[in-house]
Amino acid sequence: MRIFILIAALFVVFSAKAQDVPSPGPKWFTLKDSTAATGSLCVLRNIHFDMFHYDQNIDSNSYPVMDSIVRFLKRNPTMKIMVNAHLSPTQGQMCWVPRHAHTIVDYLIKQGIDSVRLVPREWGTTQPIVPLSKIKLMKTDKERMEAYRLDRRIVLQVMDPIKK
């Protein structure tokens, strides 16, 4: 039941707040798909960063996912994407602002993806899936950690294709 509520909350957050997503709501894609329509979203929760390093290096365990993004973009040479980075409330309390979207874009550029096709967007803690007010009411650490995990995400959003 909780998973259903969280998925419903994710749908509401994106359809209500992401201005670039066409109504009635988002379409979803995966990195295994051959292509994706404008406005489609891909939620990635398995890209991790070295949180104790100011440069926000991508954790080496995340390279297979990053390389999947590269392959997806190379299969779609005119596709432009927005890389949306979302933080959990615990990450938002750090002494510096994480630049996860910019770090991902930098990685993709180093792998040969044209920077014109990539738009980084740092959302911080402004679009939580589970609001902090609800997290504070949770009774167990396990529930709170799951809520924080849901808020930490990278969302790829397909934009209008570039003209070649």
pLDDT at 164: 67
**Helices (runs of H) and strands (runs of E) counted in the chain:** 5, 4
Count: domains in the chain:
1
Pick from 134, 94, 139, 98: nearest CA to 13: 134
- CA pair distance 95, 61, nearest whole angstrom: 25
57 in a domain, yes or no?
yes
Q: Which two tokens stand for residue 126?
A: 């402004």
For the segment 63-89, the average pLDDT, to the nearest whole number, is 91
The enclosing domain of 86 has a CATH number of: 3.30.1330.60
pTM of the model: 0.73
pLDDT at 117 over 70: yes
Expressed as residue numbers, the domain containing 45 is 2-159
Compute CA distances 141 → 37, 40, 75, 146, 148, whole Å. Answer: 39, 33, 42, 9, 10
